[in-house]
C-alpha cells in the first residue's frame, strides 16, 4: 500500500506522474513483499524541499529523509533509498 501527502508543496498532475514513475521500482518491490505500508510526506521549508518516507509493517517502522533544493532531486534521492532498502529485504528473504 502507498500513501502520498504533499503537505505544503503544490504538485501539478504531471509532477505526481513523474514522482510515481520515479518510485515505480520501489512500489513493485513493495507488492512483492506483501503487507508493507509506504507513506511519503513532502514539506517545503524556505528553499528546501524535505521528503520523508515511512515503511511500516507488523514489526515496526523504518524512516527515510531527503532534503534538496528541488523536489525532483529529493524524490530521486528518496526513491534510491527506498529501492535499496526494499531490494535488501527481498534478497535476504526478510518477511513482511
Domain boundaries, the chain: 2-91
Tell me how far apart the alpha carbons of residues 62 and 91 are, in angstroms, rounded to a whole number. Answer: 18
CATH number given to 2-91 = 3.30.160.100
- For the four alpha carbons of 45, 54, 23 and 77, in that order, the dihedral sign comes to positive
pLDDT band of 78, cuts 50, 70, 90 = very high
Picking from 88, 45, 94, 84, the residue whose alpha carbon sits closest to that of residue 67 is 45
The whole-model pTM stands at 0.85
Predicted confidence at residue 81, as pLDDT, reads 94
Cβ-contact 15, 71 below 8 angstroms: yes
Amino acid at each position: 500500500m502507498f500513501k502520498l501527502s504533499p503537505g505544503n508543496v503544490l504538485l501539478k498532475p504531471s509532477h505526481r506522474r513523474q514522482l510515481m514513475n520515479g518510485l515505480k521500482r520501489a512500489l513493485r518491490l513493495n507488492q512483492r513483499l506483501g503487507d508493507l505500508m509506504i507513506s511519503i510526506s513532502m514539506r517545503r521549508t524556505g528553499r528546501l524541499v524535505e521528503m520523508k518516507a515511512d515503511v511500516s509493517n507488523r514489526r515496526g517502522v523504518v524512516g527515510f529523509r531527503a532534503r534538496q533544493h528541488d523536489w525532483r532531486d529529493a524524490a530521486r534521492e528518496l526513491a534510491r533509498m527506498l529501492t535499496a532498502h526494499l531490494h535488501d529485504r527481498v534478497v535476504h528473504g526478510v518477511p513482511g
